[in-house]
Chains A and B, each alone.
Chain A
Amino acid sequence: MLSILRKARLKDKEMRILMLGLDNAGKTTIVKRIMGEDVNTVSPTLGFIIKTIEYEGYKLNIWDVGGQKTLRSYWRNYFEKTDALIWVVDATDRLRIDDCREELHGLLQEERLSGACLLVFANKTDVNGCMDPEEIREGLQLNAIKTHQWHIIRCSAIASTNLQEGLAWVVQDAKNRLFLF
């Protein structure tokens, strides 16, 4: 019994988070900023990065996968047992919002992501003239999503605003669903 409890305790409070979005949305910058690393030397991710963050006693394993078009078809390699999906949107990129919407809705069709909650990070909101959350909600047709819990939040990785709030929502939502007892 003690070994079962010990195992349970090890797995308790551990979450797997998948960070996706189009290329140049700022996924890696967000991760680096949260980890407190240098954000000025970020180059396009040609592959993937795994980082572990301690947040309010929870251990968040963040999988940051490159967003280049060629890589997107491989996203589903990483879906296994995902608790939360963080979708990063470049709020200054009005041109590709349709592209962005299609990718997101395609993802949500996947069987393996059916249990995950969705956080939309509207990144780069420190830039003037960016889209506001309402516009993004429209553009991504978030209201049409019935299968997942979702939430949209403005943030800026460069200015380091609202990142912690985003994580807080993810953890809170997971608490409500996963750690009922």
Chain B
Amino acid sequence: MDVPEDADLQVQRASPDLIVDLHISLEPFLWRTDTAAPAGVRTRRVRRRVRAREADRIVALLEPFQELPQLLDPHLQTLVPILADAFIASLQSKPLKKTSYTKLLIPLSKAICRLLYTFCKIRGEKVIVRFLSTDTKHLELLLSAIEAGDVDAHQDAGAEDARQANEDQVADQWEWEHRYITLLWLSQLLLAPFDLSTLSSLNTDVTPPAISGLLLPTNTPGVTLRVVSLALRYLSSSGKERDAAKILLVRIAMRRDMQALGLLDALIKWSIASFDPPEVSEQTSSYHYIGVLSFLSGILNASLATSDMDGYLGTIFRILQGEWYREVMDVVNRSVVARKAVLTVLRNICVIVLRSPEFMNEMVEVIEITIGTILESLTDSATPVRLAASKSLSVITLKLPTDMATQVVDEVLASLMRDVTVVTRGQEQTQNLSLVNPSEWHGLILTLSQLLYRRSPPASSLCEILPALLAGLSFEQRSTSGASLGTNVRDAACFGIWAIARRYTTSELQAINISKAAIASKHGTKCSILQILATELVVTASLDPAGNIRRGSSAALQELIGRHPNTIEEGIKLVQVVDYHVVALRSRAITEVAVQASRLSIWYLEGILNGLLGWRGIGDPDASARRTTAVVYGNLANLGAVNDLITKFSELKPREDHERHGMLLCVASYYTKHREYESFDIGGVLQYANDTKHRRVDLIAEAVSRLIISVTPTGLKQNDLIIGLLNKWLRRTETEVIEATAEAAFTVVQSLSCERKAAVFSGWIAVITENQGGRSGQDQGILSALFQAFPVAELSQGTIVSAIHRRWNLVHDVESRAAILRYLTSSTALTTNLEEFSDLIIDGLDDYTTTARGDVGSLVRIEALKSTSAILKASSTHCNPELAMKLYSKTLRLAAEKLDKVRVEAQQAVSHILSSNIFPSSLDTSDAFLSYPTTSEPYFRFILNLCFNKPEVHSLGAAELLSGYVGSANTGSEELVRASRAALVAFCLLSEDNSRLICGALVAVLKVNLTNDRVLVPTLEAIAFLFDMQIFQDSGVDWKTLHITVQKSHFKTGNIRKLEAAIHVYGGLGEFYAPAIEKLTTMAIHPFPRVRERVVDTMFVVKGVGKGVNWPKAGKLDLLKLK
């Protein structure tokens, strides 16, 4: 139910490091310092290509700032110009040679543009572009570069095959980042305050682009022709460069000299004409229209408060209404981005029209139709369109005369209420929002919020707006598949309340007529509207399932209390409790914020209790959220409220399983906390649970069990019914259910008479011994209950012990074994009856069951290790020395085995052994041991020392330890192999004794495990490894014995890994023991080609013979060549 920590907090902490890293990395990334030159006169040259990985790394340094862009601001001034200068320098340098292409390198210019684009993405292109040089001399350079890059692209697109053959060209092509950055930069350069016609160097012969519908004035300067043709080409592209092309085109069209020349007119006419293409094909790219629309919108935006565009408004408006070119508009309306662009164009038209009253009267029809269109778009299924529509509507409304503005607000409110039905329950009237369209509500509430943000509605209309906002703040719907809808509605409402708090004065808000506004909330008329808002915000901030809503509410609450001091109860304390960062975690928001806020005032307590009983608490689809809810509810509620709850329980509809679960947990939690049961009769609930068929039995089982636990001490009357129910539920497999029912069973059994108890136990024993569990796991609940109830079992204890042993051996299934050990660990039987159960633990420590799922025995081993820890932690007096030694040596083996999670658990167990009184001397080393990571060299060194430096231990333990250790040293992860091997070698090199001990023990392990491949193969490899390290040579092992043992180990085997390991050992042995070489020689014509290959390789290494023969086809005669 909780999500990990927030990204913005992380970036705030990490940002200084990231910035420093950026500063350090950029210079060497972009420039190559000429090291040949003497120091002091070193020149630098810009790099041609850079490593793609380094580029990725630097981009990754920037990405985190997306969360808090302002952190970058102080550094833009230095960082962006560094990149820009290098870009210019790389464009000026000679073109790349196309030979040295590898995928690991990318052209520098591409890397720079990627970085600049990342900056733009994070901080906004308008900001970044300010830091680009405005030197006019770059105009020609950039313009030529983008034109050249363009030509490349076209040639390649023409010849797909050529591209395949000529991969290097693909790499050096200009990509969209190049074009995006270059077009942006050009748009900045075109601010130059000169006539473009005077930029003579750029005005060499340029043929005007042939674009249909575009009639450029005859004396257009060359540079304009080039820019316009570029911009128009990319205006129809699908990539990000479209935005930059739009900015460039708007910029050049709005230039004074270009306007005078008639360029603006020409471009507008072209745009209008492009809605009337000679033929409309389905294939016409919608990007073309999106580009044209965004150009129009940009032009209108740039001429907002001016009369530049007055002449065209009507025409553009009618096109967008689809009056003339219906086919084109159909294409447009299919694209979300285009619909959004249409809305912004309409908005800009309206704003221009509204500039002067006379003009407005002339075009009043335009305004009315536009507002109608936007209202329709508020219900659009695409979120960006709704966002644009709500913003547009608020911008327009702000400019409208008062009476029209009021009409708009009324219309929005009316649309909100259209599908709302009012349910009357007694005197209470509640709104039913289940029929409304959540997208529409989102659009409408967002519009209200945007209006409030601009302070458009007069304060007098707030009393109608506020109920809508409050309804929106707790809006939720379930989709047909059960997913929660309406988060965006709550978000919009939160924004609206924030805006109200910010834009309206205290007195305005206090003047609001409560009786009207209180409809939407349950607060009555006693408190002020500010208090109602605060209460609702507290509830949302502590209970809402969505993190950003909780944080949004917290922000709004801060605004509300800060701007309207002394109007809200315990305001300052409330702000401290409902902290922006604390509410980020949901569990913390419920368990801490809700509880602390409730203590501040009855308003918050009532609000939160109500909220807990709603969809944000007991109705939450997430079971863990309901459990948390119940805990908090139990703390806060009083008896009256709980009794109400019990009444409501009977009114629940059959399908409301979540609510039922939540409610029962709430009641249980209350009684656990308060212990005043007289008034409560559990019988009704039990009867209900027994009689009704449930869709989610697990939930009912868990909740009723919790209820039984919470009221048991009073003595229950319905024991038979309860035991019947529990026996049924104990067969379930869900963890939460097992936990709750087993505990309930334990509490109930305690209060039973001896005979009844015995009967219950024998029923349970029958289930586990006769394998009634059926599918594995179905008797886990019973196992848990048996272990919990073991101390009170009295006479039945002996039967239980033998039953559990029978269960252990009955069917070898890993889950049951793990479960038995798990419940044993948490039971007191572990210490009281250790003698009886110790064999299970020892058996568990040796469980290496492997199935198709892999090493599932590790589950059992881990549980057994936990049991071991528990035994030693409790007190070692329970543990006789013989058992202790056994546990110790096995634990040590597991501490060195290859599975990480097993090692971690074993580390704990070993440290418990060290600190217990079995080895009084080693008390102080246990902490040091715990501090080692389990995949590190010191960790393994410690284990080896522990085992071999204690003579009383190693006789028993050495072989045991090494049988686990070889696994780590051979088949573990790379890091593990390295750490364990390094520790082994270091230990052996320490003294000759050490290496003798190790080598001897390895041979012993080999002898014992001749049939156990799991240990055998890694042991052979370990011996071979020690030969390679020149350690085994001095071990004093009898070579003959070793040779024979190894031969036995792979006798008639088909296991290639084993054969390879054996060959490896023979190779080491062969240097000084001739029979090993003979054996190798015979294996050179082994039936398996892989084996032959290894043999010959080994022979070549040992004796330098055997090359020049086709060994896979070799016969017996070829063996002579090995002599």
Contact = CB atoms under 8 A, between A and B. Distances in A.
17 contacts: A1-B548, A1-B556, A2-B548, A2-B551, A5-B495, A10-B124, A48-B191, A50-B130, A61-B130, A66-B193, A71-B194, A74-B194, A77-B255, A77-B256, A78-B191, A112-B306, A181-B502
Contacts of A5: 495, 498, 555
Contact of B193 (A10, A50, A77): A77
B194 A70 contact: yes
Contacts of A2: 548, 551-552, 555
The 6 A-B pairs of least Cβ separation, nearest first, read A74-B193, A1-B495, A71-B193, A1-B552, A50-B130, A1-B491
B183 interface: no
Given A66-B193, A77-B256, A78-B191, A1 B492 contact: yes
Interface string B530-566: 0000000000000000001001100110000000000
- Name the interface size band of chain B: 35 or more
Contacts of B64: none
B498 A76 contact: no
Nearest to B132: A50
Contacts of A59: 73
B305 A9 contact: no
- Name the interface size band of chain A: 20 to 34
Nearest to B130: A50
Contacts of B69: 10
B134 A80 contact: no
B494 interface: yes
Interface of A: 1-2, 4-5, 9-10, 46-50, 52, 54, 59, 61, 65-66, 70-71, 73-78, 80, 111-112, 114, 181
Contacts of B255: 74, 77
B358 interface: no
B548 A10 contact: no
B548 A73 contact: no
Interface string B50-72: 00000000000000000001100
Given A47-B136, A181-B503, 4 more contacts: A10-B70, A48-B134, A52-B77, A74-B255
A59 B76 CA distance: 13
A67 B552 CA distance: 48
A73 B256 CA distance: 8
A120 to B, nearest CB: 22
Contacts of B131: 50
A145 B975 CA distance: 79
A47 B192 contact: yes
B488 to A, nearest CB: 10
A47 B136 CA distance: 8
A50 B77 contact: no
A9 B256 contact: no
A112 B194 contact: no
A75 B124 CA distance: 25
A4 B499 CA distance: 11
Interface string B484-504: 000000011011001000110
Contacts of B637: none
B163 to A, nearest CB: 40
Q: Is the interface of A mostly helix, strand, loop or mixed?
A: mixed
A1 B494 contact: yes
B1010 interface: no
B495 A4 contact: yes
Contacts of A73: 256
B754 interface: no
Nearest to B497: A1
A114 B548 CA distance: 40
Contacts of B455: 181
B551 A65 contact: no
A47 B193 contact: yes
B879 interface: no
Nearest to A77: B191
A4 B255 CA distance: 32
Contact of A47 (B135, B256, B495): B135
A69 to B, nearest CB: 11
Interface string B123-139: 01000001100111000
A80 B73 CA distance: 22
A56 B74 CA distance: 14
A161 B555 CA distance: 43
Nearest to A61: B130
B75 to A, nearest CB: 12
B302 interface: yes
**Which of B70, B77, B194, B551 is most buried by chain A, counting CB atoms within 10 A of its CB?**
B194
Given A47-B192, A73-B256, A181-B502, A80 B136 contact: no
B53 to A, nearest CB: 32
Contact of B302 (A47, A70, A80): A80
Nearest to A45: B193
A73 B134 CA distance: 18
B200 to A, nearest CB: 15
A4 B69 CA distance: 14
Contacts of A75: 193
B70 A9 contact: yes
Contact of A52 (B130, B193, B495, B548): B130
Interface string B249-261: 0000011110000
A4 B503 CA distance: 16
B305 A49 contact: no
A84 to B, nearest CB: 17
Contacts of B256: 73-74, 76-77
A131 B124 CA distance: 44
B551 A111 contact: no
Nearest to B549: A1
Nearest to B73: A59
Contacts of B555: 1-2, 5
A47 B134 contact: yes
Nearest to B70: A10
A5 B497 CA distance: 13
Contacts of A111: 305-307
Contact of A65 (B193, B302, B495, B548): B193
A48 B305 contact: no
Contacts of A9: 70
Nearest to B302: A80
Nearest to B492: A1
A167 B1117 CA distance: 100
A59 B73 CA distance: 10
B250 to A, nearest CB: 11
B193 A48 contact: yes
Contacts of A65: 193
A129 B256 CA distance: 39
A70 B257 CA distance: 12
B130 A1 contact: no
Contacts of A47: 134-136, 192-193
A48 B256 CA distance: 16
A57 B17 CA distance: 24
Nearest to A110: B306
B864 to A, nearest CB: 49
A171 to B, nearest CB: 18
A58 to B, nearest CB: 12
Contacts of B548: 1-2
A156 to B, nearest CB: 26
A50 B307 CA distance: 28
A46 B198 CA distance: 13
A1 B307 CA distance: 35
B305 A114 contact: yes
Nearest to B137: A47
A181 B492 CA distance: 20
**Which of A2, A50, A65 is most buried by chain B, counting CB atoms within 10 A of its CB?**
A2
A111 B309 CA distance: 14
Nearest to A3: B548
B144 to A, nearest CB: 20
Contacts of A66: 193
Contacts of B305: 111-112, 114
Nearest to A114: B305
B11 to A, nearest CB: 13
B190 to A, nearest CB: 9
